[in-house]
Amino acid sequence: MNLSGFVEAAAVFEAARKRKQAELLQRGQALRADPAKPGAALQKRFWKDVSVKETPEGLQVHLDSRPVRTGGRNVLTLPPSKRPLATAIALEWDHLISAQQALKQHYVPLTSLTSRAIDIKNADAQNNRKIRDEMVQSLMRYLATDTLLCWAPEKNIHQGLEGSDIRETGGKSLRQRQIEAAKPILDHLTTHVWPGVEVVPILGEESIMPKPQPEMTREIVKGWISGLSPWELAGLERAVLASKSLCVAARLVVEWSEEFANTRQAVGEKNRRFGIVDAAEAASVEVRWQTGMWGEVEDTHDVEKEDMRRQLGSVVLLVSGM
């Protein structure tokens, strides 16, 4: 076969392949749209418009005329002060292309977070403390392994190679960088949130054995968490899971929560500088140190960094008011 014949045969083969592919695609779409198929109703969006409605109970997000509900089947109702949150939830639903997407939390992170807060609120109203007590117990475990308090040993096995520590950049060790990140957060917490409480580093300068927090510290922090409103408690939980730090999460919640407005006024609005980026960086000092030394893994470190900021941003929206 000469060259022109080969090219012609290849073109015929490619055209046949594309026709077959188009047929398979059409067949798949027909199967997905088949109303007799289980779950077919979830494959398409059953609402046209999404809106925020003011009701006597509060703000609700409506899909046409139907209100969005929580996982516990309660109507998702927000206080009037949380209109930015309600608007953001409406945008989440407006971007969905199928009802099936709403079943996956990563498509509706604000809805799932708000649902968590509302379910806590309804459980509290029924004097059911099971959800709250389980959350408090779970969150307290993070205090024993708090990322903000796990400082690297000052000396390490690499020190002395060619007269330098390969973990030093800018003349500061990793431990010094971690202390610099932790100090302003701990100063704020032990002055304005948990006054007089002693929060100690988990690891000593030359030790890898964890050190527990004083019993008094644990009791005060536990009491503080137990007394949070449903919105702050749900926000704290997500911030802790994202940052692996109870201290960073508490600092962020207090900074933006409408429940702690008096605390901010006592500190002074000019000092209100702790935001999403600050929280994310404080929780990832060691990761940033390591990537600064050895470089980032593409589609891993960069994705994890943005995901943490996304989750912390959802906490700010949940707890703030207007």
Helix (H, G, I), strand (E, B) or coil at 284: coil
Please provide the DSSP assignment of 192-214 as one string.
Answer: IISTT-----SS-TT--S--PPP
Q: Bigger pLDDT: 23 or 298?
A: 298
* pLDDT above 80 (res 116): yes
Model confidence over 248-276: pLDDT tens digits? 999 999 999 998 887 776 666 555 579 99
Looking at the chain, which residues constitute the CATH 3.30.2180.10 domain(s)? Answer: 50-125
How many helices (H) does the chain have, and how many strands (E)? 12, 4
* pLDDT above 80 (res 235): yes
Distance from C-alpha of 239 to C-alpha of 249, rounded to nearest angstrom: 5
CATH class of the domain at 141-319: mainly alpha
Looking at the chain, which residues constitute the CATH 1.10.3580.10 domain(s)? Answer: 141-319
Domain 50-125, CATH = 3.30.2180.10
Q: What percent of the chain has pLDDT over 70?
A: 78
Number of alpha carbons in the 13 Å side-chain half-sphere of residue 44: 11
Model confidence over 122-172: pLDDT tens digits? 999 999 999 999 999 999 999 999 999 999 887 655 544 333 344 445 667
